[in-house]
Structure 1
Amino acid sequence: MLRNLLIRLENPKRELLGPNVKALEFWGILLPESKPRRYMYIFLHALVFLFTFTEYVDIFFILNSDLILVLTNVKITLLATISCCKISTFLFWQKRWKDIIDYVTRADSSARAAAAAAAGRGDANIIRSYTRYSRKITYLFWSLMATTNLFVIVQPILKFFCSSEYRENVRKGEEPLAQVVSSWVPFVKTTTSGFLGASAYQIFAAIYGGGWITSYDTNAMVIMVFFRGQLELLRRNCVRLYDTVSDDEVRRRIIACHTTHKELVKFAALYNSCLSPVMFLYMVVCSFMLCASVYQTLMETNPLNRFLIAEFLIFGVSQLFLYCWHGNDVTFMSNQVQSGVFESGWYKRNIYRRELVLLGYQLDKTIRFTAGPFVSLNISSFTSILKGAYSYYTLLK
């Protein structure tokens, strides 16, 4: 059954981004052409935006209560805020994202066709490798998000059945029933109908918000993997510039490498313009989230709550790490492309030296993804955020 589902997610016209684009369409992030469906998705998005606003209202009312509860609500609210920023920017820059997705599909299909036509060069192995890796990243991240969402949704039930003290407090009216996600509603939540109504809205927001995060993040990460793979293929093509071919073919190859890199730089800049503002906000928020999660883990006495906080911490760290890891990978490979020109047989044939120099200047342009105007997406930035989060934790403690 699972295998059939994964097969249905594939798209022969989008061999790399098939599952990712289908997820974007399923959650309404890539808006459909049909007006009724488009308005339906806009309405669903508006409901989640409204729910995030109610979380802020709820925080205002519980500011003077238990610190652990306040930190939990603030963490979840900040995560929801980041999700709203991701989706609102994606919807606002819908044309940019469609251009990026179309370019990735077009360039990937062209690379696959070229690899199939020139069997034995090893290019097909690189394409298969980064395609398999993209699927692993996509499905593992979906699984992690689904697990996190599941624990968030069932934690009130687990708390009720696992804690006799909590059940007794609820029976006596000394403690309210735990909510899926703490939020404000314009009716009384202590009644049965009020609690069920608030829980239904919270479950909808948790599931839909989880769909937002998984579809946006996996699409962004797979596009990073694509850039890395294309840069590796480009480097190999540079090494083969002078391989036993005619003079005209050498010139054609130099032009093809120049054009390919120029397009990669252009669309990488467009991609970075869409991702960078969101990542800057996420890095700022992530430091607080990590700090608060560590503090809660050490201060919390309930084993179930500790487990839920730890799972939330793992999700936050892995999300940030994947972005920084793939950003670092792209930058590293971008710096390696130019060496392919020097590894070619340029010294064997005294032709097109000027064009080769111009190609070298073009390949010297490094592709780098950033989080805002100051921070690069790399491993160094990731470790800096972890150090910053520990410093904040020390101050909070």
Structure 2
Amino acid sequence: MGFLIKNTNFSIRLSLTVLRLAGFWSPEGSNHRFLYNCYGFGSFMFLLGTYLIIQIVDLYLIWGNLPLMTGTAFVLFTNMAHAAKVVNVLVRKNSIQKIIDDADNVLKGEKSAEGMEIVRSCDHETKLQQLMFYMLTFITTIGWAGSAEKNELPLRAWYPYDTTKSPAYELTYCHQILAILVAAFLNVSKDTLVTTMIAQCRCRLRLVGLALRNLCNDEHVIGESLSDISLKPSAKTLMLTPDQEEQVRIRLRECVVQHQKTLKAAVDLQNCFSEPTFGQFAVSLVIICVTAFQFVSHTSNLVRLFSMGTYLLNMMFQVFIYCYQGHHLSTESEEVAVAAYEFPWYACSVRVRRSVLILTERCRRTAKITAGGFTTLSLTSFMAIIKTSYSMFTLLQRVNERN
């Protein structure tokens, strides 16, 4: 049973490998599926299930005390969103795997130098975002571990025993830190898996645009077809010959097919991740608010202050990478129409020009990912979430001052 995932994209490889090691991405054709599922259930309970139970009980016991409630809520809501995303990955694994395989086959099959550079730039961008996300997460977790006072746990939670006595305190402390660190890295892996899949859709659209620009390029390779016919217009007539026209039509048809497949991949991504993304945005809006409240409430503990600051940045970055990739997906889909005008269409017949016109009209319907159908993933949506979180934060401060 292999645990290392193979893919052209580094972030996809790492994210799926982490999910598999955690028990949430079963190997294909495994003879030990039952044992793996049992392992996954145990992993879920250790990382999330136990935390959800003890934090919900703690929230019930401290209900009405605003500072204590926010101290429990900011991690509780994170874990609830995390659990929902785990369930979504488990339920829709086959659909997600198909999207990943289709994108991998397209990107792996790119032969042109410009196309391979586009694939490399996509890999570099997603790798950088993932490593930044992991780094912020690691710093935050280490900060929480070091901010605990004597005989106090890093995070609030209810336990059915006295956590101030040894060895219960040491064991509970280790469980909290280990579970938080692993769960946080797992959460990053799931988020960057989604954003990387969106980035690969962007990459495929850029490859379609490149193919359209180079329809009349003698050295252009699209799919498995390579033409020995020069596709430069005649110097006398400034038009393509019938043989050249036929080759251009073949290439244009392949471009349209790839464009349609990419748009379908975007729709499949929407179907797989729209609702969980909406839930993540709704939870992130609240988390950013309560984390900012905790940040200004712990000014005496510098380590705690620093860790809450990095956690706040972490939550904002989590929303940002979704919105960033979604925004540029829409932009790249619009650029396909522009690319269609950049090859010498004026040297083609009316039939080819009509086909190009139909393609550009289709590109007016931009590819986009929405969060539950309520808001499109865009930089405008990101700013709206930040502004709303700040408004809720100021309201929370006023309520606390009155009490």
Is the shorter-chain TM-score for this pair beyond 0.5, marking a shared fold?
yes
Residues 295 and 180 (structure 1 numbering): CA distance in 2 closer, same or farther, change over 3 Å? closer
Equivalent residue number for residue 17 of structure 2: 22
Equivalent residue number for residue 4 of structure 1: none
Is contact 2:103-2:200 (8 Å) kept?
yes
Residues 182 and 375 (structure 1 numbering): CA distance in 2 closer, same or farther, change over 3 Å? same
Matches within 5 A, 1:1-397: 11=6, 13-16=7-10, 17-32=12-27, 33=30, 34-35=32-33, 36-47=35-46, 48-65=48-65, 67-111=66-110, 114-115=111-112, 119=113, 122-156=114-148, 159-160=149-150, 177-243=151-217, 244-245=230-231, 246-302=244-300, 303-350=302-349, 351-397=351-397
Is contact 1:141-1:214 (8 Å) kept?
yes
| Residues 27-77 of structure 1: CA deviation (Å, up to 9, x unaligned) | 222123332233212221133223212211111112244x32321210011
Is contact 1:228-1:330 (8 Å) kept?
yes
- Point out the structure with the larger helix share: 1
What's the CA shift for 1:10? Answer: 8.4
Is contact 1:55-1:183 (8 Å) kept?
yes
Residues 153 and 103 (structure 1 numbering): CA distance in 2 closer, same or farther, change over 3 Å? farther
> In the aligned structure 1, how far is the partner of 2:283 from the partner of 2:327?
21
Q: Give the letter aligned to residue 71 of structure 1.
A: T
What's the CA shift for 1:363? Answer: 2.9
> In the aligned structure 2, how far is the partner of 1:298 from the partner of 1:181?
17
Q: What is the aligned residue count?
A: 363
| TM-score, scaled relative to structure 1 | 0.85
Residues 130 and 265 (structure 1 numbering): CA distance in 2 closer, same or farther, change over 3 Å? same
What's the CA shift for 1:269? Answer: 1.0
Instruction: Tell me the SS of whatever aligns to 1:247.
Output: helix
> In the aligned structure 2, how far is the partner of 1:197 from the partner of 1:127?
46
What's the CA shift for 1:271? Answer: 1.0
What's the CA shift for 1:141? Answer: 1.7
What's the CA shift for 1:260? Answer: 0.7
Residues 301 and 203 (structure 1 numbering): CA distance in 2 closer, same or farther, change over 3 Å? closer
Judge which range, 267-276 or 372-381, deviates more. Answer: 267-276
What's the CA shift for 1:82? Answer: 0.9
> In the aligned structure 2, how far is the partner of 1:301 from the partner of 1:148?
16
> In the aligned structure 1, how far is the partner of 2:295 from the partner of 2:134?
25
Is contact 1:242-1:346 (8 Å) kept?
no
Q: Flag structure 2 segments of 5+ consecutive residues without an equivalent.
A: 218-229, 232-243, 398-403
Q: Give the letter aligned to residue 359 of structure 1.
A: L
Q: Give the letter aligned to residue 358 of structure 1.
A: I
Sequence identity (%): 21
Judge which range, 256-265 or 231-240, deviates more. Answer: 231-240
| Residues 97-130 of structure 1: CA deviation (Å, up to 9, x unaligned) | 111211121121122xx22xxx4xx222222222
Equivalent residue number for residue 225 of structure 2: none
